[in-house]
């Protein structure tokens, strides 16, 4: 059945930790083996055994146009013939910077990097330099990449006390990382009452998509904006997922919030390695070489990645986000009804082109709520859908993504597969 993937996985495990180059791809959370993908077109993946899947992962977000989208593929192939890296500025770096700044209401300047992790790591360093403060407040269950300061877990007892979330992160590094439950503005106010003068930044996924899909409660983001302004801290919107996905102008446009800094990744690279951080000129001008906050990267602004990102953003500038949201909402509602009819508790939050099946009775508003969902049921659902050629995110703590390439036939086939699932 998956012989080629199994053979590749066996070989890879001898060479690569866990056989994969990023942990979630190992499918441990759903008691499955990873599929090795040979090619992808539109919203379809073809695995190493030639089996076709309808893809709702979309490379964890970048492929909103669908795989092998003509303008992106043509731009990358054309750029490749002009060389793959110059180590010097290129025209498309300026064009992509211009396009991203024009799209995002909160941006006056932007710096390209090579991943979302680099973007958030750099944004935190900049916030600390700009304020002369060390502490950062993040939300439990939000993921901002694997830079040490963000790999903090809630300490025993005191919610705000952090302990290293993984071996290798020193306690000294997470000592300045404060934690609060997502959507809990009262907890944030309490933390500011104690630590306010020391807090450089609050970093938040404006729509949390790394604990399933958790929407901001009315007033939550506005409250963060007010508290950070009141205490002289910076508000950092981590839009690595939401940027160009929840709206062309990201969550900052959709929710009309003006962050001080914003981080990007995924979609702005069109599938190639690109991240970015940007924000108000008074802060961004502190970044080297204009200012003295050091940040650098050999492949930052790489011509191929810039060509892919630029082709993607230009296509999205004229795309119908409202129609995509309507299609996603109709599909997710139908999926929820099919699962509910099987007598299982199910929630199906959706926003724009994102959806997430939680198997629980309660509305999920934070990480504790996400953890309380039935992961065994999710695993059972995942396995049966994958066996029918539907490729869902291999974790109950990730988010389903829909692209402009998904058709009504793809939705219909997916719903038929869900009807056949036994839960």
Q: By the criterion CB under 6 A, which residues form the site for ligand KE4?
A: 22, 24, 60, 115-117, 120, 143-145, 205, 210, 238, 240-241, 265, 275, 398
Closest separation between CB of residue 275 and ligand KE4, Å? Answer: 6
Q: Of the listed 143, 283, 382, 391, which one is catalytic? A: 143
Nearest residue (CB) to ligand KE4, 174 versus 240: 240
Closest separation between CB of residue 196 and ligand KE4, Å? Answer: 25
Residues 366-384 as b or e (16 or more Cβ within 10 Å = b): bbebbbebbbebbbbbbbb
Q: What is the CA radius of gyration of the chain?
A: 21
Closest Cα partner for 233 from 222, 221, 245, 225?
225
Is 238 one of the catalytic residues? yes
Residue 62: what are its φ and ψ, rounded to 5°?
-55, -35
Residue whose C-beta lies closest to ligand KE4: 116
Closest Cα partner for 182 from 400, 369, 362, 351?
369
Distance from C-alpha of 397 to C-alpha of 176, rounded to nearest angstrom: 26
Closest separation between CB of residue 42 and ligand KE4, Å? Answer: 21
Residues sharing a CB contact under 8 Å with residue 233, sequence separation 6 or more, in sequence order: 127, 131, 133, 137, 192, 196, 199, 200, 201, 202, 227
Q: Of the listed 135, 138, 266, 280, which one is catalytic? A: 266
Closest separation between CB of residue 120 and ligand KE4, Å? Answer: 6
User: What is the three-class DSSP state of 278?
Assistant: strand
Residues sharing a CB contact under 8 Å with residue 332, sequence separation 6 or more, in sequence order: 348, 350, 355, 400
Closest separation between CB of residue 197 and ligand KE4, Å? Answer: 27
Nearest residue (CB) to ligand KE4, 59 versus 73: 59
Nearest residue (CB) to ligand KE4, 338 versus 349: 349
- Total length of the chain: 423
Closest separation between CB of residue 297 and ligand KE4, Å? Answer: 13
Torsion of the alpha carbons at 109, 207, 356 and 275, rounded to the nearest 10: 20
Cβ distance 262 to 205 under 8 Å?
no
Closest Cα partner for 42 from 73, 71, 66, 70?
66
Nearest residue (CB) to ligand KE4, 22 versus 292: 22
Nearest residue (CB) to ligand KE4, 115 versus 262: 115
Count of alpha carbons within 13 Å of 194, Cβ hemisphere only?
10
Closest separation between CB of residue 102 and ligand KE4, Å? Answer: 22
Nearest residue (CB) to ligand KE4, 192 versus 397: 397
Closest Cα partner for 139 from 126, 154, 121?
154
Question: DSSP letter string over 33-90?
Answer: PPPPEEEEEBTEEEETT--EEEESSGGGTT-TT-BT-HHHHHHHHHHHTT-S--SS--
Q: Of the listed 238, 260, 366, 374, which one is catalytic? A: 238
Nearest residue (CB) to ligand KE4, 265 versus 369: 265
Closest separation between CB of residue 145 and ligand KE4, Å? Answer: 3
Is 382 one of the catalytic residues? no
User: What is the three-class DSSP state of 203?
Assistant: strand
Is 266 one of the catalytic residues? yes
Both structure tokens of 75? 């731009």
Count of alpha carbons within 13 Å of 272, Cβ hemisphere only?
26
Nearest residue (CB) to ligand KE4, 25 versus 383: 25
Cβ distance 279 to 100 under 8 Å?
no
Active site residues: 143, 238, 266
């Amino acid at each position: 059945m998956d012989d080629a993937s199994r053979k590749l996985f066996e070989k890879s495990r001898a060479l690569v930790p866990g056989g994969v180059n990023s942990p979630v791809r190992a499918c441990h959370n759903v008691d499955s083996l990873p599929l090795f993908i040979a090619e992808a077109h539109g919203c379809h993946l073809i695995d190493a055994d030639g089996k076709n899947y309808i893809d709702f992962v979309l490379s964890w977000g970048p492929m909103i146009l669908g795989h092998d989208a003509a303008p992106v593929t043509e731009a990358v192939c054309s750029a490749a013939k002009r060389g793959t890296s110059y180590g010097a500025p290129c025209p498309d770096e300026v064009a992509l910077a211009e396009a991203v700044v024009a799209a995002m209401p909160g941006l006056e300047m932007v710096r390209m990097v090579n991943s979302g992790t680099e973007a958030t790591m750099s944004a935190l360093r900049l916030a600390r330099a700009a304020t002369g403060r060390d502490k950062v407040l993040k939300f439990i269950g939000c993921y901002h990449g694997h830079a040490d300061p963000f790999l903090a877990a809630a300490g025993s007892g005191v919610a705000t006390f952090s302990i290293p979330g993984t071996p290798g992160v020193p306690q000294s590094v997470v000592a300045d990382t404060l934690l609060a439950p997502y959507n809990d503005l009262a907890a944030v106010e309490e933390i500011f009452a104690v630590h306010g003068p020391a807090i450089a930044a609050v970093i938040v996924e404006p729509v949390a998509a790394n604990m399933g899909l958790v929407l901001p409660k009315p007033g939550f983001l506005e409250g963060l904006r007010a508290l950070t302004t009141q205490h002289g801290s910076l508000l950092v919107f981590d839009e690595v997922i939401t940027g160009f996905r929840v709206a062309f102008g990201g969550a900052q446009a959709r929710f009309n919030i003006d962050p001080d800094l914003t981080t990007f990744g995924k979609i702005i690279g069109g599938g190639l390695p690109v991240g970015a951080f940007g924000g108000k000129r008074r802060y961004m001008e502190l970044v080297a070489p204009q200012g003295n906050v050091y940040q650098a990267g050999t492949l930052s602004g790489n011509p191929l990645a810039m060509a892919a990102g630029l082709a993607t953003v230009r296509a999205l500038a004229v795309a119908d986000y409202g129609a995509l949201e309507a299609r996603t909402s109709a599909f997710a509602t139908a999926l929820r009804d099919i699962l509910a009819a099987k007598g299982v508790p199910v929630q199906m939050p959706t926003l724009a082109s994102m959806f997430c099946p939680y198997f629980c009775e309660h509305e999920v508003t934070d990480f504790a709520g996400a953890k309380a969902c039935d992961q065994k049921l999710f695993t059972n659902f995942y396995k049966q859908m994958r066996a029918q050629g539907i490729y869902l995110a291999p974790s109950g703590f990730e988010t389903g993504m829909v692209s402009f390439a998904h058709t009504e036939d793809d939705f219909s086939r997916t719903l038929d597969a869900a009807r056949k699932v036994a839960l």
